[in-house]
Structure 1
Amino acid sequence: MNQLVRNLTVDSLTLSPLTPTIGAEVSGIDLAQPLDAGAKAALRQALLDWKVLFFRDQDITTEQHIAFAREFGELEVHPFAPHKPGYPEVLAITHNRENKGKENTWHSDVTWRLEPSLGSILRAIELPPVGGDTLFADMYAAYEGLSDEVKARIDGATAIHDFAHFRVAMRKRGMSEEQIEEFNKAYPKPEHPVVRTHPETGRKALYVNAAFTQHIVGMDEDESKALLKHLYAQAAIPEYQCRFRWEPNSIAFWDNRASQHYAASDYWPAVRKMERVTVVGDRPY
């Protein structure tokens, strides 16, 4: 860890890894303040190295949250999920007695987009007294741990992704088929590689997820389902994971290109309020 900090050339930045390969808590930085060039470069490299960064005691405003995210790229507006009033870039994620948590499936955010996100920055607003942790999985390790036989089967393969569960929710809310068709046209089902090459590190990562991947192109339905089930299960291997226990004013910043996450929904009927800002990414290859 000390060698990594020295390599980042920012004396005040300290990284405390949660596991050998994924997750590091970052201290020595105030996210309410603009980043200088050194801190920005250090954080970007740390994100590439650890896939998810955690920050404690960051009592920041919504504007500061947005400003921090913009240091890493353009921000996206989620077309389906509720946003914070007055802030279309800020996804408001609130669960309570009437709205139980539903993010308890391993996934990478918005892979139903043609250009899925680079990363997401999530801030804790209100937390249950216990529970509500988020787990993260290293998808480099998930790929590298596959057998040579499975690697050969998925080499060069692509899969279709879709926002299917959002479509179900829209119908439940009474949205017409004509309105839904407009979303279908705006977000046609993209075809992404089953194994993605990270655009910055050049490493290969498993890039299918149980929330949004539909089927592997060119395979019959049964074969695709069986193979995807095996690939999805890799994220659930503890050796590939870290787990983050939230506190008030905690922030997590994860690389959607190299990780998946799972929000434990074990706190119902308690309240859990989070706010997320997402950085636009590029088309996977």
Structure 2
Amino acid sequence: MTGGEFESLVAVVTGGGSGIGARTAEVLAGRGCTVVVLDVRPDPDSPHESIVCDVSSTASVEAAVAQVVERHGRLDVVVNNAGIGATGDVSANDDAEWLRVLDLNVVGMVRVSRAALPHLRRSPAAAIVNTSSIAATAGLPQRALYTASKGAVSALTRAMAADHLREGIRVNCVNPGTADTPWVQRLLAGADDPAAERRALEARQPHGRLVSPDEVAQAVAYLASPLNGSTTGVELAVDGGMQALRLRPT
């Protein structure tokens, strides 16, 4: 599928085996991009080229990025989407879990970006898009560790945008609200009343429903697109108005 604004460009999508990452890979490919999915457990039925990659391992990341460039000769777009969730207040997780989540959600993006930078510097349309969260900009109950990791992602995005703008590399992030992803489905399945919990999650977003992976993927594609060369250092909310709007109760 070619002919879009990403034609001739090569992208990697971490965590592209499911959910938002999988849909992002589809959207980019549909706009002409050559997409390589990097995932610790790639979907064997995915139509996209996949490489097993653990973003918590520098060696794994460097090998995967090198493989992409060896196969395709270039790397233009990095979508840092791999991440894990965490629940509970600040006391709910021990030091090991804090370090594990921060290592994967934050340092994982650093590892991938660091490995990609030499190749992005040679691209005429270089872009990095990080997946952050509404949790980075709004206080959500029972999400202390996850919030800390995504707050770091948002701050990191701005710092990277400043560092690499004059190298021709744009860096942005997308902040999804509560999305209909496999992780959220697992949370709902573990609730005492899954139906009631889903209604509560839907109700706290002003548009009254969960965000779809496709809506997030379309935002990622916008931020990565070479058509939007003046967009950098941006946090793009895809949250049904949760962060910005204060509607009166119905």
* TM superposition score category, shorter chain reference: under 0.3
Q: Which structure: larger Rg?
A: 1
Relative to the length of structure 2, the TM-score reads 0.25
Relative to the length of structure 1, the TM-score reads 0.23
From the two aligned structures, give the one with the greater helix fraction: 2
